[in-house]
Amino acid sequence: AEPIFVGFSRSGSISALDPHDDLGWLAVGTRSVKFLGEKGAYELPWSDIRAVRYRPNAHTLLGLGRWISFEGLKDGKQLRMMVEPRVHSTLLANKREGARLLRKLRALIPPTASKI
């Protein structure tokens, strides 16, 4: 699939004004999910991902957005990589884009992951 422009955050980072730690590109492959942003790059192999689901963010309070959260476990540590599409000029259009993205992701989730 082609990379999609997203806002990005890792678990534990919270801001009331802007939920995104970084902006960049999400590439979804058959072996992993990769984020390449202005501040860094992160990769989660599908084998470590246990769930892909929505999580609330600051935009959720206004009904205008939410995270798509990749959640997993590696070496006994919980992992979370959260993205929110930023391809459109409005938050509401990006929320709809997130629903389309989650549907696509669920088709790729390996049997070890949950489709919560």
Mean residue pLDDT of the chain comes to 87
Q: What pLDDT sits at residue 113?
A: 60
| φ/ψ of residue 115, rounded to 5 | -100, 50
Q: What is the pLDDT of residues 6-50, one digit of tens each?
A: 999 876 666 555 567 799 999 999 899 999 999 999 999 998 998
Q: Residues 69-93: what's their mean pLDDT?
A: 92
Rg over CA atoms, the chain: 13
Q: Nearest 5°: CA angle at 23, between 87 and 36?
A: 105
* Full-model pTM: 0.86
| CA angle in degrees (0–180, nearest 5) for 57-110-36 | 50
Coil, strand or helix at 92: helix
> Quick one: which H or E segment has residue 54?
strand 49-55
State phi, psi for 104 to the nearest 5 degrees: -65, -40
Q: In this structure, what are the phi and psi dihedrals at residue 60, rounded to the nearest 5 degrees?
A: -65, -35
Looking at residue 75, its pLDDT comes to 86
